[in-house]
Chain A
């Protein structure tokens, strides 16, 4: 039987997945990206400096990653020498944004797939917040409304956590996480100007100064978030893993892993990074080569040529293209499917023995859970990878903020040339993000973004290979084929962002 499981909620944007289910097993899955805006078309002919601002609007969840990728591409094109403070501020802004994004993903986007919200009805303690939630859920359910306790109900059928205390703790942390997300974003905005959509990030650095009266509140906010990560987030991830251990083996993508590496440790373009870049096939890591990336559009709704390199990209929408089923293109690395995102970041770094903290945490948690590091390629593996990255990032940001030199420059002077081109690669919280800019006669002649969810939620390529998320869905056993909570847990573990994938 064929079942569409969209619209999929608690992700960003418009995604449907067309599934075929036979004997309770998903035998085929097609990810249908259902939105198109045309950024790469309307960027043409604009002032190059506009691109940092406009590409942030690709995504209001992770705008800073686009700002950094665009700025890096322009730094590359303009041959800018970024002062150390400028690079540190980019890191402080982007890193804080990652912390918020990991918490948002686990609590607001995923928790309702595992936590039994109705458990709060049994609460008998004195916590004021939980008592209020209990009274509210009870009143809503008793009200005779058609849809009581929305947006938490109705929900899909399936197995939820059955431990009362674990449920209650998770509900309380769901609420507290929102406050922590605000704090992480406030920290980022101190230097970014505002969130979402920062105005202070530029190629060459940041317009905000490195002042002690800004550094201290930044550190204070990050410390609070760090405490939450260690005392609430990580234990909650492990509690879900303990209750749903089968998800270490569910949702495995078929292919390689790609990470551009994250957070440069110096101002130079080739600086060592906190997390190492690399592309990994069969456990072997190689250096990343942008020339190996090509985008297929055989199954995507474009009439432009297929299998183009990034710098040759073309985009002509064809909404009613025969047999095409998604607005998302199909990028491939050396012709192969790769997964990007937190698990890819952790595995690519771990395989190279690059960051000792990553190694320590992977070994510790994998040991506790009784899994192999290769099982990070799974639903739970993606969740655990985010938690590990959050812990490593929070420590790094505190140390990095200490390296700012108050009073020293934070910006290089910008003087864009008449013609140039550049690549900018970074890691959005959802994975590898690449921007490419080509400037002719002082205007943008070509702009191309190859975005995390474009990799993960891509349709079949021209060779018929399913994308990473499609491959992770195929073979999944589902209890209720109409609803497929299992498939949705897989999709959400990738944290798909359709606004990014189809920009």
Chain B
């Protein structure tokens, strides 16, 4: 994994991109100690993605958009925000990947079509080529969201492109580069956030399946406010009911994520609070198998047998 120097660089780059409001005072102080002029840059590229993770990152309480673009921004390229485009954009991207523009951390959203390179092209070259070249010059990589981590939806059973996540892509090419996996479809902005906090304050976080243990070590089911309902066997019988959603197919028991204590969209909501079963979007095997549907509405009828 990253050495401490690389961790600090990654932390600073991510802080630069996403702001610092909402962090504890010591964490803010640590980040503020980093001179923005020397912060490594974050090069954000997308593969087989839906841009959902980028959109989710814009939903964070922090960044305040202002701190993102003034105090800390070193987001050198992001396809959804950059003013540049075309040949000018490619010159910028290539100058980083070729090692001519200084240190940078690669942020990847989306899967890689390992079996069909033509299925994701940037400037007439396969996305995979950029990842291989970047491996020689980057300080490290962060995989943002389930597609970049494990292939996600594009890697669902029967996918025609051979989609994989970044770590597997590098492993298959014998490229030894550290990748931090932050799963979720989409990723929760805090998960990206507090990873940075930990990196800055403590150093290497404990990882489980390549992801920070602090968010992904416990099953959603254990943390769920409806765990009491489960124990008391108060089950929702049909969609829209309150009670434990396990019998409707809730994947909380096999999903490692802290949604029940964190909540989403400014802390206003999360899936189970709207009586909707967890579909396991932060699981490495999210959506993978056809015979493991998201919902079990009526056992014993042909559809789930």
A residues bordering B, Cβ < 8 Å?
4-14, 16, 34-39, 41-42, 44-50, 53-54, 57-61, 63, 108-109, 112, 117, 129, 132-133, 135-136, 143, 146-147, 150-156, 175, 178-179, 181-182, 185-186, 189-197, 199-200, 202, 204-209, 217, 301, 317, 319-320, 327, 409-411, 413-416, 418, 441-443, 482-484, 488, 499
Known: A35-B48, A151-B76. A117 touches B159 (CB 8 A): no
* B116, A207: Cβ atoms closer than 8 Å: no
Bound together, the chains give a CA A190 to CA B240 distance in angstroms of 15
Contact check: which of B89, B266, B271 meets A186 at CB < 8 Å?
A: B266
Q: Closest Cβ of chain B: how far from A469's Cβ, in Å?
A: 16
Is B176 an interface position by the 8 A CB rule?
A: no
* A47, B303: Cβ atoms closer than 8 Å: yes
Is B231 an interface position by the 8 A CB rule?
A: no
Known: A35-B120, A154-B88. A129 touches B161 (CB 8 A): no
Contact check: which of B41, B154, B274 meets A207 at CB < 8 Å?
A: B274
For A32, the closest partner residue in chain B by CB is: B121
Cβ–Cβ < 8 Å partners of A196 in chain B: 52, 55-56, 186
Known: A9-B79, A151-B75, A182-B59. A34 touches B276 (CB 8 A): no
A-contacting residues, B225-253, CB 8 Å: 238-240
* A143, B37: Cβ atoms closer than 8 Å: yes
For B155, the closest partner residue in chain A by CB is: A42
* A34, B73: Cβ atoms closer than 8 Å: no
**Extra contacts besides A190-B269, A317-B161 (7): CB < 8 Å:** A9-B82, A50-B295, A60-B50, A146-B95, A150-B77, A195-B56, A483-B88
Bound together, the chains give a CA A34 to CA B118 distance in angstroms of 8
Cβ–Cβ < 8 Å partners of B5 in chain A: none
For B119, the closest partner residue in chain A by CB is: A36
Cβ–Cβ < 8 Å partners of A189 in chain B: 264-265, 268-269
In the complex, 14 of the A-B residue pairs with CB atoms within 8 angstroms, ordered by the A residue number, are: A7-B79, A7-B85, A9-B89, A37-B159, A39-B153, A42-B157, A60-B53, A156-B84, A182-B58, A195-B264, A195-B265, A206-B274, A319-B116, A442-B301
* A150, B240: Cβ atoms closer than 8 Å: no
Cβ–Cβ < 8 Å partners of A58 in chain B: 50
* A132, B66: Cβ atoms closer than 8 Å: yes
A-contacting residues, B268-305, CB 8 Å: 268-271, 273-279, 281, 287, 290, 293-295, 297-298, 301-304
Contact check: which of B69, B157, B163, B238 meets A133 at CB < 8 Å?
A: B69
Cβ–Cβ < 8 Å partners of B153 in chain A: 37, 39, 54, 57
User: Binding site of A, secondary structure by majority: helix, strand, loop or mixed?
Assistant: loop
Cβ–Cβ < 8 Å partners of A317 in chain B: 116, 119, 160-161
Bound together, the chains give a CA A42 to CA B87 distance in angstroms of 35
Cβ–Cβ < 8 Å partners of B275 in chain A: 200, 207-209
For B242, the closest partner residue in chain A by CB is: A209
Cβ–Cβ < 8 Å partners of B123 in chain A: 4, 6-7, 16
Contact check: which of A35, A47, A151 meets B121 at CB < 8 Å?
A: A35
Contact check: which of B53, B74, B158, B301 meets A44 at CB < 8 Å?
A: B158
Cβ–Cβ < 8 Å partners of B87 in chain A: 482-483
* A152, B69: Cβ atoms closer than 8 Å: yes
Contact check: which of A7, A42, A60 meets B56 at CB < 8 Å?
A: A60
The size bracket of the interface on B is 35 or more
Is B103 an interface position by the 8 A CB rule?
A: no
Contact check: which of A57, A132, A413 meets B71 at CB < 8 Å?
A: A132
Is B81 an interface position by the 8 A CB rule?
A: yes
Is B156 an interface position by the 8 A CB rule?
A: yes
Q: Closest Cβ of chain A: how far from B271's Cβ, in Å?
A: 4
Cβ–Cβ < 8 Å partners of A156 in chain B: 83-86, 88
Is B137 an interface position by the 8 A CB rule?
A: no
Count A/B pairs, Cβ under 8 Å: 302
Cβ–Cβ < 8 Å partners of B268 in chain A: 186, 189-190, 217
Q: Mark B30-58, 1 if CB is under 8 A from A, else 0.
A: 00000001000100001011111111101
Is B201 an interface position by the 8 A CB rule?
A: no
A-contacting residues, B126-152, CB 8 Å: 152
* B265, A60: Cβ atoms closer than 8 Å: no
* B281, A197: Cβ atoms closer than 8 Å: yes
Is B261 an interface position by the 8 A CB rule?
A: no
For A176, the closest partner residue in chain B by CB is: B65
Cβ–Cβ < 8 Å partners of A208 in chain B: 274-276
Cβ–Cβ < 8 Å partners of A41 in chain B: 158-160
* B265, A186: Cβ atoms closer than 8 Å: yes
Is B23 an interface position by the 8 A CB rule?
A: no
Bound together, the chains give a CA A432 to CA B157 distance in angstroms of 29
* B274, A199: Cβ atoms closer than 8 Å: yes
Q: Closest Cβ of chain A: how far from B260's Cβ, in Å?
A: 13
Bound together, the chains give a CA A8 to CA B65 distance in angstroms of 23
Known: A193-B274, A208-B275. A7 touches B293 (CB 8 A): no
Is B206 an interface position by the 8 A CB rule?
A: no
Cβ–Cβ < 8 Å partners of A182 in chain B: 58-59, 265-266
* A61, B51: Cβ atoms closer than 8 Å: yes
Bound together, the chains give a CA A136 to CA B277 distance in angstroms of 45
Known: A208-B275, A413-B238. A7 touches B65 (CB 8 A): no
Bound together, the chains give a CA A4 to CA B85 distance in angstroms of 11
* B159, A38: Cβ atoms closer than 8 Å: yes
Contact check: which of B37, B55, B271, B301 meets A200 at CB < 8 Å?
A: B271
Quick one: which of A53, A59, A442 has the most chain B CB within 10 A?
A53
For A41, the closest partner residue in chain B by CB is: B160
Q: Closest Cβ of chain B: how far from A94's Cβ, in Å?
A: 15
Is B78 an interface position by the 8 A CB rule?
A: yes
Known: A36-B161, A132-B71. A175 touches B66 (CB 8 A): yes
Known: A13-B46, A132-B71. A442 touches B55 (CB 8 A): no
Known: A7-B86, A155-B83. A442 touches B302 (CB 8 A): yes
* A415, B118: Cβ atoms closer than 8 Å: no
* A9, B70: Cβ atoms closer than 8 Å: no
Cβ–Cβ < 8 Å partners of B46 in chain A: 13-14
* B274, A34: Cβ atoms closer than 8 Å: no
Q: Closest Cβ of chain A: how far from B220's Cβ, in Å?
A: 13
Contact check: which of A5, A46, A133, A443 meets B70 at CB < 8 Å?
A: A133
* B239, A411: Cβ atoms closer than 8 Å: yes
Is B207 an interface position by the 8 A CB rule?
A: no
Q: Closest Cβ of chain B: how far from A187's Cβ, in Å?
A: 9
* A49, B294: Cβ atoms closer than 8 Å: yes
Is B102 an interface position by the 8 A CB rule?
A: yes
* A320, B118: Cβ atoms closer than 8 Å: yes
Cβ–Cβ < 8 Å partners of B89 in chain A: 7, 9
